[in-house]
Chain A
Amino acid sequence: MSEKGDVLVTVKDLCKNFGVTVALNHVDMEIHRGEIRGLIGENGSGKSTVTSIIAGIQPATSGEMFYKGKPWHPATSLEATQAGIGIIVQEMGTIPSITVAENIFLGNYEKFRVGPIISKRKMIAAAREALEKIGIMDIDPARVTGSYNMEQRKLIEIAKTMANDPEMFVVDETTTALSENGRELLYRLMRRAADDNKAVVFISHDLDEIMDKCDAVTVLRDGNIIGSLDKEAFDPDLIKKMMIGREIQGDYYRSDMDGYENQVVLKAENLTTMRDLLCFDIELHKGEILGIGGLSECGMHTLGRALYGLEDIVSGQVTLQQSGTRITTPEIAFQHGMGYVSKNRDQESLVMNGTIGVNIQSTGYKANRGLGIFISAKKEKQYAQLQVDSLAIKCNGIFQPVSALSGGNKQKVVFGKWLAADADILILDCPTRGVDIGVKAAMYQLINEMKHKGKSIVLISEELPELCGMSDRLIIMRNGEISGEFLRQDGYDNNKLIDCMI
């Protein structure tokens, strides 16, 4: 019988390259039974890579792995699942167009076979059981997965992983997509598994969460294992230092209390959109960081899109106060010095197989003109290179495809694109989502610098600390309406803010 503390998975000298990029550099690691092991590190440090190799999602370039003492070379994630290694991935791991039950038993339909056909009834019953086992009662396994929201889909994915009773499972930055209840549910499952002598690997950017939930933590940086700590040795400053390789100095958020000018630059009046917003009014001032918070379904993301002309407006209007221009399309918004950073970075803010240069230069077709309508290659190169240098984007040059960059560096490219455009009004929808603390700190500093240059920023975020730390004025939304407005000079009271949200 296996004992608590036995080694379940051993990783030896594991390397992984993506082209010239080294994602894992000779990594050695052991995962023990009966513990929740935290994996922490900046974006691009190799956390997801190492776990996805163990779970059979991708092969390693070189190196060895052992599972239960035997050599382990999973060819597919299905093989890993059947052998008892499950993973809940960072991105969407469910297929929207099929039913919940079909997702839960994806690739595993054989056991529901009755003669030549797969019994839907049996599968749905089994799926219901799987959902109830982890304490989810309000999801109907017969419904199409796409009809559920992101969080519910994540819960379905958790049910899918747990349905196989895995010996080891990986939770890869799942909690950012979950609400408080969902998180509690996941924490309980993790703890129960560890108590049952299974192994859990927990990846998160949230240091507090890691320290609270894990029995041990391993820190990665640039594809190297920096070290491991047991619970007794947990120390936030030490872990941070290990993650970034230096001490974080100065202020994380902005510390100044500088105000903004009275001049209104952007105004939405009586704004009603096809979804979420009804008769919404909002004003943005010059040099202001306007924070907008609330629960993810409160309509704040729609508001950001509507301000940039991306939503169908039923009535009301968004106008630039200086020129009186009405913003009805993103083209008009862009031409009048506005910029927008979507919360879905990979899908909406970047051309993934395009180079860093192509992405940054996309805002400068006019600015980079040399003679007449012709674009100057020199100007265009400088346009991108300047941002790569000043933002310290980790890359081999502007001709590297962005798909080879880590999350934080990708977000830097998006920022660079708008910095290069010198946008006067910037709408940032969850700009620090999935970005590690090092890059986060750099982003906050950038936002603050822009403010002091007289730019106006709308900062939409699901993270209260970030909103409180950065905003001059903070608007909390609920059900498509403003439920509270707070000012930096009065100080932000977390309890009051949360009251307005729920």
Chain B
Amino acid sequence: MSAASGMAIQKQSPKLTLADRIDIIKNKRFFPLAFPLAMLAVLVVLFAVLTGGQFLQGSVVKNIFNQSFIVGTMATAVAFIYSTGNIDFSVGNVMGLACVFGALAYEVTESMPVMIAVTLVGGIALMMCNCTLCIACHIKPAMVAIVAMSIYSALCTVLVGADPIRVDYQASKALEGGFRYGTFILYFLVCLILYHRTAIGRKLRFIGGNETCAVQTGINTTKAQIIAFVFAGVGVGLAGVYQTIRTTSVAQTVGSGMGMDVMLATVLGGMSIFGGTKSNVYAGLIGAITVTVLNTGLLMLGVSSTMIQGVRGVIFLLLVFLNSERQKTLPSRQQF
């Protein structure tokens, strides 16, 4: 060993492996938006070719929108909660119970506006109920969700009974037009702007990234959590209204299992259900449309619905695998 000169010798940079390259692309800023949209486009083109253009017919497209509406609205709503790194999969049951409240109110008053108002307020109130449990008792939202799911579905069963509660068919179908599109677009835009252009979304994402750090940066995590649940409540209530006017009746099983669909839609839309700084509010909507496109397309190609379940499962697994960030070395190890 001899004393060497103090100069650095810069050699050419090493070759990048495929994994490195994928990593770089995945870290590009526009990847979270571009990838799901590209996937959706590929699916649409694929089905359009395979069905000889039938897939692009007006009625099919309309049906896809109608089907993805409810899950899309809820997924947009729940993004506020997911962002903070918390999971609430009871939203399906919350929506169901809100529907039941609305339907019961309709039975008494025979008024659609009252049904809408009660469903909306019901959604918000039930989400606030979840939120209070989280904050006051310091229980993780996922735990609260497990309890809430069984309580709410039990309540639905008790309140509805064996026969579904019916609402007026004509009035419902009338609302499916302008009212539904109008309120949805309004809600989505408000969410988009508040989430991406004000401090609200940034704070929620920052909490999801590192809660301790958020606290030390002066962010009130309790306040943020309440805001997240209120926004989620509005969306869930709205989804409840869409559900009721779509089926024109409320059965006791309404909304069950939908919490999982919401999660699936979120992941398909390219957002991590574990939140963090890369979260957004539009992933759920894109994802919900993707799921419906997939379902409809496969059905049109003559694939059985049980097979579709399987295909969906495989795709879900694949996306979670691609999306999750795994530690390359020991956890929290400073890499160099």
On A, residues with C-beta under 8 Å from B are 15-20, 22-23, 25-26, 44-49, 52, 57-58, 61-62, 89-93, 216, 221-222, 224, 226-230, 233, 238, 241-242, 245, 308, 310, 329-331, 333-335, 340, 342, 346-355, 358, 361-363, 365-366, 373-375, 399, 401, 403-404, 406-407, 417, 434
Q: Which of B14-22, B43-51, B92-100, B284-292 contacts A (4 or more CB under 8 A)?
A: B14-22
Partner of B277, one of A46, A245, A308, A355: A355
A19 touches B217 (CB 8 A): no
B6 touches A226 (CB 8 A): yes
Partner of B4, one of A49, A62, A228: A228
B216 touches A348 (CB 8 A): yes
Partner of A348, one of B8, B17, B29, B213: B213
Interface centre among B17, B203, B206 (most CB of A within 10 A): B206
B108 at the interface (CB under 8 A from A): no
B14 touches A26 (CB 8 A): yes
B335 touches A334 (CB 8 A): no
A238-B6 Cα distance, complex, nearest whole Å: 8
A340-B210 Cα distance, complex, nearest whole Å: 15
Residue-by-residue, is B5-16 near A (CB-CB < 8 Å gives 1, otherwise 0)? 111111101111
B163 at the interface (CB under 8 A from A): no
Contact A346:B332 (CB < 8 A) given known A334-B218, A353-B277: yes
Q: How many residues of B contact A (CB 8 A)?
A: 52
B3 touches A233 (CB 8 A): yes
Closest CB of chain B to A48's CB: distance in Å?
Answer: 5
Closest CB of chain A to B35's CB: distance in Å?
Answer: 17
A91 touches B336 (CB 8 A): no
**Residues of B167-203 contacting chain A, CB below 8 A:** 193, 197-199, 202-203
Which of chain B's residues have a CB closer than 8 A to the CB of A347? 210, 212, 332
Which of chain B's residues have a CB closer than 8 A to the CB of A228? 1-2, 4
Which of chain A's residues have a CB closer than 8 A to the CB of B203? 365
A-B contact pairs, 29 of them (CB 8 A): A16-B14, A18-B328, A18-B335, A22-B13, A25-B14, A52-B329, A57-B333, A61-B17, A90-B334, A92-B332, A93-B330, A216-B1, A221-B8, A222-B8, A241-B6, A330-B218, A333-B218, A346-B332, A348-B212, A351-B210, A351-B213, A353-B276, A353-B277, A353-B278, A358-B206, A362-B213, A365-B202, A399-B29, A434-B334
A366 touches B199 (CB 8 A): yes
A62 touches B14 (CB 8 A): yes
A93-B332 Cα distance, complex, nearest whole Å: 10
Q: How many A-B residue pairs have CB under 8 A?
A: 170
Which of chain B's residues have a CB closer than 8 A to the CB of A52? 329, 333
Q: Is the interface of A mostly helix, strand, loop or mixed?
A: mixed
Closest CB of chain A to B265's CB: distance in Å?
Answer: 23
Contact A373:B198 (CB < 8 A) given known A229-B3, A310-B216: yes
A407-B332 Cα distance, complex, nearest whole Å: 12
Contact A354:B197 (CB < 8 A) given known A61-B20, A365-B203: no
Residue-by-residue, is B105-123 near A (CB-CB < 8 Å gives 1, otherwise 0)? 0000000000000000000
B14 touches A58 (CB 8 A): no
B10 touches A25 (CB 8 A): yes
A16-B10 Cα distance, complex, nearest whole Å: 15
Which of chain A's residues have a CB closer than 8 A to the CB of B329? 52, 57-58
Closest CB of chain B to A103's CB: distance in Å?
Answer: 14
Closest CB of chain A to B180's CB: distance in Å?
Answer: 28
